[in-house]
Structure 1
Amino acid sequence: MTRYNKMGLVGEVSLLRLYLLRGLYLLVVVGLGFTVWPDFINRSESWELMEGVVQCMLVAFWALSVLGLRYPLQMLPVLLWELVWKSVWLIIVALPMWISGHMDNSTLETAIACLLVVIFPFVIPWRFVFINYAKKRGDRWG
């Protein structure tokens, strides 16, 4: 069991859950390492605006996931962000296109890549999240 009181984080997280979190971060690090870094490093021409934005965000996500290998609980907001944006995209963009039969190959590829997020809810320590992000008193405003 782990308790991080000196950083203001409270809650018990089993060693198994910490290893599962590290496994999830490792999956992201390896996956993005193979898919994003080669194009990022070997790029000879400039990117279009949104392609550049996406690539830079993926590299930032990769870097924060590397930190998650060492600090799995402190980097949980990164996984929560990933869970939320992918879930929203799948529900608001992909699902209506799929239901209407208007999903093209590019959108289908993105949807399949985003579906990896279905494992996140099983790995994230929700009790810890509730204690530290919902129940815990917020920082003062002034």
Structure 2
Amino acid sequence: MNTTEQTPLQQKPSKFSIKNIFLPDYENYEGVRRINIYVMRLFFALMFIFVATDSWTVILTHEGDWDPTRAVAWCTWAAYSTLALLGVFHTLRMLPIMLFMIFYKGLWLIVVAYPLWSAGTLKGSPAEGMAYMFSGIIIPILFMPWKYVFKKYILIETKKK
């Protein structure tokens, strides 16, 4: 055998493929599909960018006395959106933040927007813009790994020794 002959380098198969993002990933994400992780990371990033920018701007530029109720709302949004940054990097650990978002937006749509819409008064009301923005929760609802959520947060499996 001639030692100067080159053998082709064997390449490892790529982990990223369109097919793989739809399969459960037990190695990295406890059986959650990568597409779920990617979409949730996108939502965590959007939460951080938009909500944190608005809330921290209001908090840091506010002058005078605060209305306590408005202050609680702005502080809650600032805390929630800042924690969302952790969700970009630790997506599964920060699912409670995503669940909080789904819950409060869904509740608001049911309690505020639906009655206005039923009465035919949503269009043109101050709530119209928020109703359209909040209706986007359908995407996190669809991409939430519900089986994982029930297993980890609701059924809470016990560790076997």
State TM-score, norm by structure 2: 0.72
Displacement, 1:91?
Answer: 1.2
Amino acid at match of 1:132: K
Q: Percent identity?
A: 25
State TM-score, norm by structure 1: 0.80
Runs of 4 or more above 6 Å deviation = none
Aligned counterpart in structure 1 of residue 111 of structure 2, from 59, 74, 92: 92
| Aligned positions, number | 134
Instruction: Report which of the two structures shows the higher radius of gyration computed on alpha carbons.
Output: 2
In structure 1, C-alpha distance between the alignment counterparts of 2:141 and 2:121, rounded to whole Å: 29
Compare 86-95 and 96-105 and name the one that shifted more.
96-105
Aligned counterpart in structure 1 of residue 135 of structure 2, from 115, 126, 131: 115
Contact 1:17 1:125 in 2 (8 A): yes
1:80 aligns with 2:130: no
Higher relative contact order (CA 8 A, sep 6+): 1
Mark the runs of 5 or more structure 2 residues left unpaired by the alignment. 1-24
Displacement, 1:83?
Answer: 0.5
Mark the runs of 5 or more structure 1 residues left unpaired by the alignment. 5-9
Amino acid at match of 2:138: V
**Could you say which residue in structure 1 is the equivalent of 2:79?**
60
Task: Go from structure 1 to structure 2 and tell me whether the alpha carbon gap of 1:127 and 1:105 turns closer, same or farther (over 3 Å shift).
Answer: same
CA RMSD of aligned residues (A): 2.4
